Structure formats: C-alpha cells, structure tokens
Structure 1
C-alpha cells in the first residue's frame, strides 16, 4: 500500500526536469530585463573578485600544482596555467568559495555563483563566447539552482547536504549547457547525468574540502553538459522520478515541485542573489551588522563589555560549530571568533582570517566575552523552517556593559541581502579590494569597468586583464 501511494504521488508530480531543461536551454540575453542583466553583471564581478582574492590561499596552491601537467585552453585563475575546461572549473570553483565571500541565495539555501561562473568561464575561451552569452548562461545556471531549491525546500539542506554542491551541480550543468547551445532534449540529458553526480556533505565545513565542493559542482556540470552533447543518455525522469533526485535528497512529503515551476521566467532568480560583505558563513552576518553598527554609533563599547549574548537559530549554531577554531577555515564557522573580530577591529575583513590572527590574542582574547546560544524561538527545525521561508529568521544581540548599559537589538537579514541591498559603492570597493590581491589596483579598476559593460564585449577582452 505504501509503495502504491508513493508511486501515485510520483505520477502526480510535474515534469520538473523537462520544464526546467527547456527553459534553461532557451534562455537568451535578449529576453532578460535590464534589472536582470545588471544583477548578472554584479554577480559575475563579485564572484570573480573573491576568487582572485584567494591567490594566497592553500587551496589555490594545491590546484595550481595539481594541473600543471595537463595543458589546455582554459585559464586557472591566479596562475599562468591553462588547462582543460573540467580542470579549470574545479580549480576556479574552489577558489571562488575559498574565503566564503561569494554570494548566497535564499531559495537555494546556498551559494549560487561559485559553481556556475567557473563552469561558464572554463568553456568561454574554446567557444569564443561573448559577454552577452556569458550573462545568459549565468542566468540559466542560477535559475536552475534556485528553482530546484524551491522544490526540495529547506528539508534538503536540513538533512546535511551542502547545496552549493548538490544543487550547484545542476546549476553548472544548466549554465554550461546554455553556453554550449544544448537544446531542451540535450539539456535534460545533462540534468540526468548531473543527478548522478550531485553530492556535498556539511561535515566538511571548516576544512579545505568545503570550498572544493563548489569546484566539484562546476567540474561535474561541465562534464554533464559535454557528455550530453557527445551523445551520453540518461533517464528523462532523473529529477522527479521514482528513486530520483527528489526521492533521495529530500522528504517527498515536503516536496514543492509545483511551486518550482510556477511563473517561470517572470522574475529571474539571480535578482534575489545576496552578495556578502563579510568573508564568513552568512548565518553570522546579521549579528556582525548589529555589532559593527553598534560600535560605530557608540551603543557598543568593546572595552567596556561584560558579555555579548548572541541568540541565533539552531541551524546557525549547528553550521557555525567551532567554538575554539584551530585555523582560518574553522574561524569562518565560529560565532565567537567572528563577533570577537568585529569587537577588536570594528569590522570583519579578509585580514581577520589569517592563521596568525586566529592564533593571536588580539581577537582570541575577546572570544570569552561572546556567548552564542540558540534562541528559544528558533530552537527546532520546524520553528526555523517556518520563519526562514518568510525571510523572518533573526539574530538577537544583547551587549551588557560593565557600566550597566545594555544594548539589545534584533535583525533578520544582513546588509547585502536583496531586501536590504548594499550601497553600490561598497560593492565596488569590495570588488577592487579583492581583485587587487591578484592583479593589482590599476587592473582591478579596469576589470570592474569592463565587467560593468560585459554585454558589449567579448570575454577574451576581459580575460586579457587577468594576465599576470
């Protein structure tokens, strides 16, 4: 009886894979609104810049050495290497996620651009792609990630999957397939292949393999699209069919398949991407906004603090699990460390996350003032999911001073969220600061200007600015 009910339920599901495959294959630059094009250019610029900022990171060094003997046409960022498209997608995807400074997306519950853009640009040279082609492919990739995220709901993430990898694999396949010119039938083949490549475990958060997840997604998306174009076939129901992606990666009873294809094309998902202003897990960003703003206004006096209580969701404390981080990778997932860094410097920047900073006493000496706890209104999966889907999950800080002054404040979304956009100048400064770590300040400014008119140029013109 249970098997029959499951079978009946699957028969009632819409053909999500086919519908999204057709949409992603047919999405063209000319069909995009001006707002979507601008959002795409900002997302592309932001992602490239944070990847360039990873030049000195250990993950970049590993990638550069790993592919030195596999030549090809695709650039490995931050190096003089050219390698195969798949290798470049892996290396560049890992670098794009190395600092956890890449953008997020609520529907996806993950990082949309780090898997998608490296997949696109790994193919851009061999395809002589235009900027307009890249914008359309980027839009297709992010749409696929967001729409699948809507379908599998928070339940998918809540089971421990790293959506940047699991959903990012589909996004990268959609983006690569769009750039390769796959039609809807071949795009569906690519999705079926991608379904068997999707993975990514949250247990690896705080280790080098966490950013590698974005690289795996980018690499596997390129592989899936290229295999489909070469003639590899897959189940047309790999996403919604029996024992397919939906059945295995979420709770079928919570599946939201109809909503995933509702109003497709009316408003592209990339408009709801959220650039980051701090190079940490985004779950601490509302708290960092409150602390840095409190310090700037004088409401919080770091040297007078008795304790700062930080109330977050069970989900935030589960992911940000390192109360005593051992290195910079773990520090990005430590609420006490991130808050202490803000108290020490009034801001949290790339410089806050060197291994020297983590080991030193300037920040660590303030960690004892930070009490991170699960707020009683957000203590269960059910409580959190209910408010998260409405954008109402919150962080509450209570700064208790030795003088007796108490500063109590609550915030739901961080600055940079599409509901609370960051000033454009702040995003430009972030780009130039990050990109300059690889190409220097003059080229970083030129690169920003070129990317802001991406639809009018060939990618090769942008790529030339990345030469060392």
Structure 2
C-alpha cells in the first residue's frame, strides 16, 4: 500500500542514511530557497498575504517571516509557513526538478522552518533529514503521475507539495507510521493549484497554502484527527482522482535508492525555466552584437527556435504586468528588476518585443535554444545554447549560487547581515537548534556557533 510504504520509509529514514551528495543538495536547496524567500518579500503578494491574515487569524508569535526577521517580526507557525511559501516562489526564482517541473523546496521548507522555530530544539541533522523525506515524497509522487497530471492543468508543485510538507512535518514531530499515514491523507484532500492562475499572485499562493495544508495535516494527525490510511492509492484517493495515470508503487520502491533531490536544479533567471535557454541566447546575442559595434536599436527582427514546451508554458505575447512578463520573451538581462510592471509596459520594450518571432522544434531539447537577431545592415547574429546555465549539464556553481543569494538577501537585510545569513544557512546541518539560523537575520551574533 503506497501510503503506508511512504510513511514507513519516512519514519525509518535517518541522517546516517543520507549520502554526502544528498546532504549537499539539501543544503544548497535550502539556502537557494531562503534567498528567494527573503528577496521575494519585496513583491506585493507576500505583504498583502501577511496584512490580510495576521490581524484576523494570528495566534501566538512563534515563527518568523524570513524577510522580516531583521525587524523581529513573528507570527504563528501557520501564517509564517503561508507567507514564506508565497515569498519564496513569487519571483519564480526557486529550484526546479526538471523531470516534473516541480519546485520542491518551497512547500517543505516553509512548513519545516515555521514548525522547527515554534517547537525549538530541532537540530540541523533532524531538520535536513525531515526536509529530504518531504522532498523525496513530493518528487516521487510527481513522477508517478507525470505528465498526465500536469497536462490536464494541475500545478504539480503545490498538489504534491502539501503531501511533501505533511511528510516532513510528521517526521519533525516524531509521528509513527499510522499517524503519518493519517497526515498524508489529510494533506491529500487539500489538493490545490491549477495552471489557470500562472501570471498572477495566486500562483505563489499555491505554494504557501500547500505548505500550510501539509503542516495542518501533520498537526491534526498528531492530535488524533482521522482521514484515510490509503489516502494516496485508494480508488478515490489522490493518485486516481488527479491523474489518469499513476505508477506510485514503482516510484516509491526507489525511495532511498534513487534520490530525486540530486536532480534538483537552480535558476539563474527569475521566470519559467523553459524560457531560460531563450533568455541566455538573447543575452549572448546582445553581447556579441555590441562587441561588433552593432546597435540594439537597429534590430529589425529576432528569431528564437525552441522546444515546444516553451510556448505551452510561456506563450504570453502581450504581458501587461511583471508577473505576466515571466511568461513572455525579452531583455538583455534577467533579474527580478526586469520583471516589473514598468519594464513590461516600457515603450522600447514593447516595440522590441513585437519584433520577436518564436518557432518550435521537437528536435530541440528543453535546455536548448537558437536565438538570432537581424540588423538593418543585413548582419545576422546567432547564438546556439546547447545546455542553458542552471541545467543538469551546466549547473550554477557555488560562487554563482552565493552571488544569487547575496543579490536577493542584501536588498532586504543589508550586505553584512546577508553574509551572516548565508553562512548560517550553509551550516544548517551542524546547528543544535535550527531557530538560530532564523535569529541570524535579526542580527543575532551567535553565527560562530555554526
């Protein structure tokens, strides 16, 4: 039985079972996401969510909003998980498991950080083990129903993420197998997220709500709340309701043998990952053109040849907002500052966007693209991106990942405190209390303890 199989594996998982590469991938996933959650709070959605919920639903202040840790702002664990989940995904800068297009860290980490800080005394090793359990759960589940589940319109980051969060929080709470099964069941019935809402605040809401739902599932189960012990595999359980295909037993048979977290990737650009080859191609075309003394104003047409999945997910040709702009094509660089309403509606940007023609080619891989620009003097500048930076075959290195974290976190925390936060998250596996990592953002001077 799949639900019992997942629960049993998670309950029995120990830090000693994790290989060095798995631990390294977990730590990288966590600090990459933390940078996204800190920097992402500058978008409107996270503060809107906090202001709409905290005055009415906030319980005892136990857990931190990562971006507000500097102000000693705390909420209850449920709101913290919700808001951090939104903040970590709103820029679309978080990690991606390419085989499923799931962004695995946000739902699990948002729930875990909130609960760990609230509970207190959760060691780094306990935290990392629970995190890996949750990530493996959601990614194996995603693979089991891919691609039918996604193709029908579900947002699989959140639909699987609530279950991953439930598994992770159950492990932190020390729940036994039957109780973890109940937690998984409660998470299953809170399935959330549809692709209709891509390009709006609600896309990141999916992640916050999934983190919240998984946490609630574990806490309810801990208190004796019942659901179904076969929440995943029953005739009317999760895998059969949300997909016309499932292979969950075969995927769960590989738990602890094939680690999906090792296939996690990290974005160089804050937008849908299928756009990345085109963005890198455009950046390289711009650089090559300027190197030849050509002027961008003299471009007469831009051609991009891409994998068909690119237009399925990012075919918005006339975006009106920064969030919609994440699902369009353009610009000489791509950082969060390029995905704003003012940039998307800028007259020069709109004019250049109208010169872009995109064609699809099924022989082109998802991490590949051809981009060319034709200039008034007849010069054609073409770049072929064989493996985009941030892909499995061309991953971001540690220096690039640190720069990404610092670029985001320093905008909120300042350079010095962002550096301390980076060191703290990097050393998360060695702490005696994960809450100390959060305290670093409030100017806590005990970073040497890491």
The two structures have a TM-score, normalised by structure 2, of 0.90
- TM-aligned CA distance change 1:71 to 1:263, over 3 Å: closer
- Counterpart-to-counterpart distance in 2, 1:142 and 1:411: 30
The runs of 5 or more residues in structure 2 that have no matched partner are 444-450
Residue of structure 2 in register with 1:213 after alignment:
206
Confirm whether residue 223 of structure 1 aligns to residue 216 of structure 2: yes
1:78 to 67, 91, 97: 67
The runs of 5 or more residues in structure 1 that have no matched partner are 1-14, 379-386
- TM-aligned CA distance change 1:367 to 1:227, over 3 Å: same
| Deviation of 1:266 (Å) | 2.1
Secondary structure in 1 matching 2:210? helix
Residue of structure 1 in register with 2:49 after alignment:
63
- Counterpart-to-counterpart distance in 2, 1:305 and 1:258: 54
- Counterpart-to-counterpart distance in 1, 2:244 and 2:191: 17
Residue of structure 2 in register with 1:270 after alignment:
261
- Counterpart-to-counterpart distance in 2, 1:19 and 1:98: 33
Secondary structure in 2 matching 1:137? helix
Cα deviation digits, residues 380-408 of structure 1 (max 9, x gap): xxxxxxx9xxx767433343343434445
- Counterpart-to-counterpart distance in 2, 1:96 and 1:307: 36
- Counterpart-to-counterpart distance in 2, 1:17 and 1:199: 19
- Counterpart-to-counterpart distance in 2, 1:49 and 1:203: 27
Q: Which piece of structure 1 moves more, 226-235 or 62-71?
A: 62-71
Residue of structure 1 in register with 2:301 after alignment:
307
The Cα RMSD (Å) is 2.1
| Deviation of 1:40 (Å) | 0.9
Residue of structure 1 in register with 2:229 after alignment:
236
The two structures have a TM-score, normalised by structure 1, of 0.87
| Deviation of 1:368 (Å) | 1.7
Residue of structure 2 in register with 1:461 after alignment:
436
1:377 to 352, 356, 362: 362
Secondary structure in 1 matching 2:354? helix
Contact 1:36 1:270 in 2 (8 A): yes
Residue of structure 2 in register with 1:36 after alignment:
22
Q: List, as ranges, runs of 4+ consecutive aligned residues in structure 1 with deviation greater than 6 Å.
A: none
| Deviation of 1:139 (Å) | 0.6
2:410 to 427, 430, 436: 436
Q: Which piece of structure 1 moves more, 302-311 or 214-223?
A: 302-311
Cα deviation digits, residues 320-350 of structure 1 (max 9, x gap): 1321111111111112xxx2x12xxxx2111
Q: Which piece of structure 1 moves more, 19-28 or 46-55?
A: 19-28
- Counterpart-to-counterpart distance in 2, 1:87 and 1:310: 42
| Deviation of 1:282 (Å) | 0.9
1:282 to 243, 248, 273: 273
Contact 2:136 2:255 in 1 (8 A): no
Cα deviation digits, residues 100-140 of structure 1 (max 9, x gap): 11111123322111111101001011222122222111111
Residue of structure 2 in register with 1:197 after alignment:
190
Residue of structure 1 in register with 2:140 after alignment:
147
Contact 2:281 2:369 in 1 (8 A): no
The size of the alignment, in residue pairs, is 432
Confirm whether residue 95 of structure 1 aligns to residue 87 of structure 2: yes
- Counterpart-to-counterpart distance in 2, 1:200 and 1:192: 17
- Counterpart-to-counterpart distance in 2, 1:304 and 1:16: 59
Residue of structure 1 in register with 2:287 after alignment:
296
Secondary structure in 2 matching 1:102? coil
Contact 1:153 1:256 in 2 (8 A): no
- Counterpart-to-counterpart distance in 2, 1:98 and 1:448: 21
